[in-house]
Amino acid sequence: MSRFGFLLAATLVTSNAGLLGAVDPSSALEESVLRTQFEKFVADFNRVYKDDDEVAERYEIFKSNIELIAVRNAAEAAAGSTGTHGVTKFADLTQEEFASRYLKTITPEDLAASKAQPGMFEAEATNNSSNSRLRGRQLLATYDQDWTGVYTTAVKNQGYCGSCWAFSVVEQVESDSMRLLGENDDFILSPQELVSCDTSNGNAGCNGGWTTTAYDYIESSGGLVQETAYPYVSGATGTQYSCDTDAILNPLVTVTDYYQYYTESAMAQHVGQVGTLSIAIDASTWASYTSGVMSTCGTSIDHAVQITGVNTDSSNSMGDAYWLVRNSWGTDWGYSGYIYLSYGDNTCGITTIPTYTEVKLTGGTSVPTAAPTAGSGISNTIKNLLREIEDATGLDEQYVVMILVFLIVFVICSCISCCCRQTRPRRQPPVRHVQNPVHQNYGEYPATQGQATLVYTPIQPSAPPASGPYSA
């Protein structure tokens, strides 16, 4: 059996069973098997080629990718990983075509020049930041958290446009809006605004961009509009299009600040306790990912996505500690649009630029119309009040809460004491009875003496002596 034949057999057996099915290794060497699988791939993914020459070209690319998939599976197995590669919707693209269409980030020459502040848990870890908001909060040893469907919108599809940076930023602003402003279906924002209108700081639409400079645009421009106001169209053509200034007149949400992490432990604390993170990453081997926890990839940053979950317990059902990452390649890739990446080893350069934002409603006409669900409303008002007090005083959250509780108890006790004084019956002064002779027909009358009331009770005159023999 040739090396190619062995790799082909291994690849077809470990690929998506729904697409390729089980294949007998002894027959995998035959060209007819590859041809049959290619035809199934074309049917399953609705591929239409312009002529027979392109069909032949795509078939040769498909064969090359089958060998590449087997090499990647061998690397994952050697690393002791559960990550698996197989035939996906990208199997008829060369690596260069895939990168030019889907992997486009423009990394700044100086990452340290970003205006991002240290994240809340990074401040705890380094203890050298003025951001003390969560300093002193108890941290867990392990985390198992998934914000999918809680602080996330549906999986999106960037299409044939290198706009991953725009999708990562929009998804993060959506998630932070749900977390800070209330879970609301109206927080479905427009990636097209960033693709077409954010041309500052080197961002270039379908030719790439960077997350933190996109935050700068959102803040300076007044915010992002909803997807319904500015629908995404660049994915169908790979064209940036000029900015529609009329479509962005009424933004819904804007960014007021953004924060960055530098370590996986701080990232895990955030995702485990707070919410999602936007990240930039090396996704050069992701085209063939199908399942498992992937651990083998490079660190040449070329893609931007969003972390939506973390499990730091290596004994979990996936067989390894992992990050759960939402991609922007549609639900027909990976785990319905998601990928699992190994936790703790800076897999794919995951610590390069993890960020989250603070957001607020713009007050424009494009405002949420649906009522906030549970977890918003008064609870978020209290959270915002606590944050404002913490920022204004520099006190830790626990001390702010203690002071507020003391003030509330003091006010309640004062009110109760006041009410008791108002309703208690006034005490009557004591009454002293004094007997004094009075004239006839003289009734009882009071006389005040100090704090006591003197009541004079008339003394009845003695009866006259009875008549007798000695009476005159």
**Given this model, what pLDDT does residue 380 score?**
47
The one catalytic residue among 65, 184, 311, 327: 327
C-alpha 447: how far from its chain's center?
A: 80
45 and 115 housed in the same domain: no
Secondary structure of residue 308 in the 3-state scheme: strand
What letter represents residue 166's amino acid? A
Interval 210-222: pLDDT, tens:
999 999 999 999 9
Q: Which residues of the chain have pLDDT under 70?
A: 1-30, 111-113, 123-140, 183, 185, 364-400, 420-472
Q: Let me know: does 301 contact 283? Beta carbons within 8 Å.
A: no
Are 181 and 371 in contact by the 8 Å Cβ rule? The answer is no
Q: Are residues 112 and 55 in the same domain?
A: no
- Closest by CA position to 270, among listed 167, 175, 198, 378: 175
The candidate with the shortest Cα–Cα distance to 366, out of 279, 247, 208, is 247
Rounded to 5 degrees, φ, ψ at 428 are -85, 140
Residues 14 and 109 in one domain: no
Answer with the one of 28, 53, 83 that is the final residue of a domain.
Answer: 83
Instruction: Report yes or no on 438 lying in a domain.
Output: yes
Segment 392-433, tens digit of pLDDT: 665 655 666 778 788 888 888 877 777 766 666 655 555 555
Structure confidence at residue 465 (pLDDT): 52
Domain limits at 183?
101-377
Is 386 within the bounds of a domain? no
Looking at the structure, tell me whether residues 329 and 232 fall in a common domain. yes
Task: Specify whether 303 is catalytic.
Answer: yes
**CA atoms of 449 and 361, how far apart (whole Å):** 73
pLDDT of res. 116: 83
Residue 407 confidence (pLDDT)? 83
Cα torsion 182, 185, 191, 197 to 10°: value is -70
Confirm whether 164 is a catalytic residue.
Answer: yes
Query: Which of 348, 377, 406 is the endpoint of a domain?
Result: 377
Task: Write the DSSP string, 257-280.
Answer: EEEE--SHHHHHHHHHHT--EEEE
- Residue 282 within a domain: yes
- Residue 162 has phi, psi (to 5 degrees) of -80, 55
Number of domains in the chain: 3
| 32 domain-assigned | yes
Same domain, 44 and 134: no
Predicted local distance difference test score (pLDDT) of residue 17: 38
Looking up tokens 């486009």 gives 104
In sign, the C-alpha dihedral spanning 197, 202, 206, 212 is negative
Q: Are 229 and 247 in contact (CB under 8 A)?
A: yes
What mean pLDDT value characterizes the chain?
Answer: 80
Candidates 203, 270, 303, 311; catalytic one: 303
Residue 410 lies in a domain: no
Q: Which of 54, 83, 112 is the last residue of a domain?
A: 83
Q: Could you tell me if 250 and 363 lie in one domain?
A: yes
Pick from 23, 42, 43, 41: nearest CA to 33 = 23
Q: Catalytic residue among 161, 164, 297, 348, which?
A: 164
Phi, psi of 410 (to 5 degrees): -60, -45
Q: What is the pTM of this model?
A: 0.72
| Rounded Cα gap, residues 106 and 209, in angstroms | 5
- Give the pLDDT score at 470: 44
Residue 49 sits in the same domain as residue 178: no
